[in-house]
C-alpha cells in the first residue's frame, strides 16, 4: 500500500491593510519644522521698518530739488525727480571737494581698517594656538581695552600725537585705527574653535613651518572671522567722526563725516541754501559703499568650515 504523495506548494504571504478609518493620521508638518509665530513676525517687521525708515527717507529726499525739499513732506516724492542732478552737483560742488573727502575716507579705511584686521588675525591666532607666560594677563588687558570707550582715549591720543607733530596729518587717523581690541578678541575666540589643533600638528609633522602652516592651513579656515572683523573695523573707520574732529583741521584731509558736517553747518547758517540738498545726497552716496561691501562679503559669513576636517 503506497502512501499518498503531497506536492508542496509555495506559501504566499498575505498582507492585510488596516481600514482607512484605523490608519494613523498623517502629519501635515514635519516635527522638525519650526512653528510660525505671529508675534515674532510682527516684532521683526517693526524692527525692519525702524531700521529701513531712515534709508527710505534719505532716498526720497535725495531725489528732490532744494525748493521741494523744504516745502514737501519728507516721506513722499514731490516735484521733479532730481536725484541725478543732485549727485552731479554733489560731486562738482566747491571744485569737487566731496570726491577728495571720499578718497580720504577710502585711504583711512584701506590702511587703517585693513591694517587693524591683519593685526587682529595675527594676534588672535597666536593667542589662541600658542602657550606662553603671561597669557592670562594679555587676556585681561584685551578685555579691559574692549571695555574702554574710544572717546575716553581721544584727548590723550591727541596730546601724544601733538607732541610727536602728527596732528593735522592722515597718520593721526590711521595709526589709532590700527588698534582694534574687539577685533583681536573676536579673532582669538574664533581661531580657538575654527582651527583644530590636530590639523596644525599634522602639518608640522609633515615638515611645514609656522608661517606656511598659518597661510596654507589656518588662514582659509579663518575666512569667516576675518570677514567679520574686516566689516566691523571698516564700518567703524568709515563712520569715525570724533577722532578726525580733534585731529584734523585742514579741510583737504577731512573724511566724509567731517565734510558733510561742514556742509550741514553751512546750510544752517545760510538758511538752508544752497547745499542742504547736497548734504542729503552726499549722505546717500556715503552709505552706498558700506551696503555694497556687506552684499559682496556676506557669502563668506559661514560657520563650521572646519567641521569634518579632523575625525574624532
CA distance 33 to 22: 26
Q: Are residues 193 and 117 in the same domain?
A: yes
Its domain, for residue 70, covers: 38-81
pLDDT confidence of 307, banded at 50, 70, 90? very low
* Per-residue confidence (pLDDT) for residue 270, from 0 to 100: 53
Say yes or no to pLDDT of 35 above 90.
no
Please indicate, yes or no, whether residues 162 and 49 belong to a single structural domain of this protein.
Answer: no
In a domain, 311, yes or no: no
125 in the same domain as 77: no
Cα distance between residue 200 and residue 205, in whole Å: 9
pLDDT tops 70 at residue 298? yes
Check pLDDT > 80 for residue 265: yes
Residues 195 and 277 in one domain: yes
Residue after which a domain boundary falls, among 81, 114, 143? 81
Cell of 231: 566689516
112 shares its domain with 58: no
The answer on pLDDT for 169 being more than 50 is yes
Sign of CA dihedral 13, 18, 19, 20: negative
Query: Residue written as cell 553751512?
Result: 266
Tens of pLDDT, residues 88-102: 999 999 889 999 999
Do 143 and 286 belong together in one domain?
Answer: yes
How many other C-beta atoms can be found within 10 angstroms of the C-beta atom of residue 161? 20
Residue 73: CB atoms within 10 A of its CB come to 8
Does the pLDDT value for residue 10 go beyond 70? no
Residues 150 and 51 in one domain: no
Of 30, 56, 81, the residue at which a domain comes to its end is 81
The number of folded domains in the chain is 2
Give yes or no for residue 287 having a pLDDT over 50.
Answer: yes
Is the residue at 2 inside a domain?
Answer: no
Of 19, 87, 98, 29, nearest in space to 263 by CA: 98
What's the maximum distance between 2 C-alpha atoms anywhere in the chain? 132
Do 189 and 73 belong to one domain? Answer: no
Which stretch of 105-119, 215-229, 242-256, 297-311 has the lowest confidence by average pLDDT? Answer: 297-311
| Residues 125-134: b if buried by 16+ CB within 10 A, e if exposed | bbbbbeeeee
What are the pLDDT digits (tens) for 193-206?
Answer: 889 999 999 998 98
Residue at 228 is within a domain: yes
197, part of any domain: yes
Provide the CATH number for the domain around residue 189: 1.10.3720.10
Q: What is the pLDDT of residue 273?
A: 56
- Measure the CA–CA gap between 305 and 195, rounded to whole angstroms: 9
DSSP letter, residue 2:
P
Instruction: Mark whether 169 and 62 lie in a shared domain.
Output: no
Q: What are phi and psi of 275, to 5 degrees?
A: -115, 10
Query: Does 146 lie in the same domain as 214?
Result: yes
Indicate whether 115 and 62 sit together in one domain. Answer: no
Same domain (yes/no): 255, 142:
yes
Binned at pLDDT 50, 70 and 90, residue 34 comes out as low
Amino acid at each position: 500500500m503506497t502512501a499518498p504523495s503531497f506536492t508542496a506548494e509555495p506559501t504566499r504571504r498575505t498582507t492585510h491593510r488596516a481600514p482607512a478609518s484605523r490608519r494613523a493620521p498623517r502629519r501635515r508638518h514635519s516635527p522638525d519644522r519650526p512653528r510660525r509665530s505671529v508675534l515674532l513676525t510682527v516684532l521683526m517687521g517693526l524692527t525692519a521698518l525702524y531700521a529701513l525708515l531712515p534709508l527710505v527717507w534719505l532716498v526720497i529726499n535725495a531725489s528732490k530739488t532744494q525748493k521741494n525739499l523744504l516745502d514737501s513732506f519728507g516721506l513722499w516724492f514731490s516735484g521733479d525727480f532730481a536725484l541725478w542732478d543732485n549727485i552731479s552737483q554733489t560731486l562738482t560742488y566747491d571744485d569737487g571737494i566731496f570726491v577728495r573727502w571720499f578718497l580720504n575716507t577710502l585711504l583711512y579705511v584701506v590702511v587703517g581698517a585693513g591694517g587693524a584686521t591683519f593685526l587682529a588675525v595675527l594676534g588672535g591666532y597666536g593667542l589662541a594656538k600658542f602657550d606662553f607666560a603671561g597669557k592670562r594677563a594679555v587676556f585681561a588687558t584685551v578685555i579691559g581695552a574692549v571695555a574702554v570707550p574710544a572717546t575716553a582715549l581721544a584727548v590723550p591720543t591727541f596730546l601724544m600725537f601733538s607732541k610727536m607733530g602728527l596732528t593735522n596729518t592722515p597718520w593721526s587717523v590711521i595709526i589709532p585705527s590700527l588698534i582694534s581690541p574687539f577685533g583681536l578678541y573676536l579673532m582669538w575666540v574664533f581661531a580657538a574653535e575654527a582651527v583644530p589643533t590636530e590639523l596644525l600638528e599634522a602639518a608640522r609633522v609633515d615638515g611645514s613651518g609656522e608661517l606656511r602652516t598659518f597661510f596654507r592651513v589656518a588662514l582659509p579656515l579663518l575666512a569667516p572671522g576675518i570677514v567679520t572683523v574686516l566689516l566691523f573695523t571698516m564700518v567703524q573707520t568709515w563712520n569715525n567722526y570724533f577722532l578726525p574732529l580733534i585731529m584734523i583741521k585742514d579741510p583737504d584731509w577731512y573724511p566724509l563725516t567731517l565734510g558733510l558736517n561742514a556742509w550741514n553747518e553751512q546750510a544752517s547758517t545760510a538758511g538752508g541754501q544752497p547745499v542742504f540738498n547736497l548734504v542729503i545726497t552726499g549722505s546717500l552716496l556715503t552709505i552706498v559703499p558700506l551696503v555694497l561691501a556687506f552684499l559682496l562679503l556676506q557669502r563668506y559669513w559661514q560657520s563650521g568650515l572646519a567641521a569634518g576636517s579632523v575625525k574624532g
